[in-house]
Structure 1
Amino acid sequence: MSGDLMRRLDAGAAGFDGALSALLDRLPERDEEVRAIVAGIISEVRRDGDAAVVAQTRRLDRMECADGRVPEIPQAELRAALDRLDPKLRDALITARDRIYDHAEAQALHGFEQEDDHGNRLGMRVTPIDRAGIYVPGGRAAYPSSVLMNAVPARAAGVAEIVMCVPTPDGLRNDTVLAAAALAGVDRVFAIGGAQAVAAMAYGTETVPAVDKIVGPGNAYVAEAKRQVFGRVGIDSVAGPSEVCIIADGSAPVEWMIQDIFAQAEHDEEAQSILICPDAAYLDAITAALPAALEATGRPDIVRTALADRGALIQVADLNRAVAVANVIAPEHLELAVREPEALMADIRHAGAIFVGAHTPEALGDYCAGPNHVLPTSRAARYASPLGTYEFQKRSSIVACSPRGAAKLAPVAAAIADAEGLAAHATSARLRMGK
């Protein structure tokens, strides 16, 4: 890279496809040691319940649990945390919650019924899951936005009970996270984290109720625990590092693009920031301005590592080629920092969220735009969707046959059952054929 903070790639050069593939080929590997540790913790929690969770909390979070029970944070403490917040921050959280709720309510699934020519009623019934589990990172990190983004859609879906787990190392509880839980309508909050919290929500303990679905981000142990309990409960996804891909045409200020690049890179060393542009001089300007901008950012070491390992500035022949490259990347976040962003929309097939125009940075989507910030990563946007209200809803098919309709369908079902060698199926259908 000749000392540059970000590598430069040319989409027209030989070997570009291989270079891009290598850049994107960073799916989190299943570390066998992590897998084994998590499997052991889950087994202990299934067997010993609260005692296992308490032991892990004492060991990992250096926190004693009164009476040997999993510590629960009462609703009064959530409300007190909300009352203690700086009014400006409290108002910001309320605004974000309301916008997230309005969008979540609008995207809810609804049932339907139809009737065929034979009097059969067919349809779909939509019901919420009974109990949702929300995992929220704790410790050094404090993410009230994760509370809102995970809990508010569950509330909009009509989930009866929302359970949240958040680690509190050394017993330190974050007011902003607790206040967000109060605003989001979380019913029960437990001061536990890690694989043991996921296992507790999946299987239940004497204190923690078993949930039907677990959502929310976490470290490698949390991600592996979600993977291992899937099937016992539903999960949202096993997420990888955060990503942004920016398509630029040189019309937005260089400073804006640099800060949008940094906004992803500052998450952690594995985060990925890619900018695609047909204007070589614009890419040169970004390259030249990066070092000074880096010194002014809040997490320079993390940003530097992320950009060196996973960042890229990609030159393309034109914006059509930029969209084609972005579709290969299938990014979590796609920014269209171009003069006419709507002209590109029809050809974009794979992106977790699309931020339309240079005045729409991904950072607004992280906190308060309305659509969810829990998005598919690691190219999963090719087949997956953002977290939404529909993740907390179930669909049941409805089939109500009239006597005439059953008689009409029975020969069809019987013929197919006979072909499959399932005699009881065929007989069951023929008995409805009537005389």
Structure 2
Amino acid sequence: MTANNQSSFNPGKGTGEPVGVAVLGMGTVGTDVIRLMSENAEHFTHRIGGPLELKGVAVSDLSKERPGVDRDLLTDDARSLITRDDVDVVVEVIGGIDYPRELVLAALNAGKSVVTANKALVAAHADELAEAADAAGVDLYFEAAVAAAIPVVGMLRRSLAGDQINRIFGIVNGTTNYILDAMTSTGADYDDALAEATRLGYAEADPTADVEGHDAASKAAIMASLGFHTRVKFDDVHCEGITQITADDIEAAKKAGYVIKLLAICERITDSVGDESVSARVHPTLIPEAHPLASVNESYNAIYVDAEAAGSLMFYGNGAGGAPTASAVLGDLVGAARNKVHGGRAPGENTYAELPLTPFGDVPTRYHIDMSVVDRAGVLADLSARFSRKGISLRTVRQEEQERHSHARLIVVTHQARESDLQDIVKELSELDDVQEITSVIRLDG
């Protein structure tokens, strides 16, 4: 993303002037945005300095009943709606990437400020969208793209703009957190926990984007870009989901004093000569039971930020749902509308740092390795020596008897080492005759 182009200064419409709004999409979030715009119209007028006026709502099916909105406002021609002279701000809550990208770019190029809740769009095309907003001298807001009502984007763009952020990590997907929490609290296996999440509406009919970590990876890309002033896209984020987590993994974590969470981890990494790079990754992670993130249950989200001056900050709340997401959208809408009335622009994105991306193999991490080994003298010493030859030290080693007395369960927790070295040792162990099976490998944090 580029810095704001201040030559395209917006002088403002003037106090009392209305701000025309077009809404693209009327699903759960769009419906709540329109409802709250109507219910809180007087409050918004005072906060903005002029009234919000809904000029149109673009939908894909005009025959469908749309309670709460005048049918005369409905259209299936989104492109015509966003270029109308009486529209000042476009709210995009459609979802997807390609079609919304076309609409958002068209709106920005037409001089309309844009508010979007579309995490996938922002993670894939933020640089292109920001450049279009800068060229037109308009705003691009996307608070709702990360953790809904939790003010993560605003915190990174404004509140901590005077600080250096070193690390952003946390739970940013409610579906996976609900599933893992259910597995932890009830002992359910993954399939049963997913089925319950689907029944309760926490999981979509096709949960792939959530359970494979793609949703969290989009959010990680956005947070890393804002936090480290470096362009990070979805494809730059290492991504692993929770589909391979078993009830045995959950139980082993409990015994060791850990909880398994799907974490998005974005960090500034400094090497031995002081050179900095950026890492963004999503994967199941063991965190100590005493860590505040361990107690984040059901579908809630929580994000930790470590900054030089501010220290450690934690943001917690509803990270999904129609009303919480609409709250974030409306916060952005108020900001964009206020700028239309009074002039000026909101802070834009800035990638001046241009830090390189850390190869995933160079990321420092720790492993929790659960394996079944032949129960004979000398096996543990041999395995420990193999770790040592790779330069990996062991923090704890725990052995448990198995029903088959010729084998033992061995649980190894390493100290911090390079990801590639830890991957190599796991591959080496899996090829040994003394190792019957490597049951699971999970990273540790916190």
Pick the TM interval, shorter chain: 0.3 to 0.5
Calculate the TM-score normalised by the size of structure 2.
0.34
> Normalising to structure 1: TM-score of the pair?
0.35
- Larger proportion of helix: 1
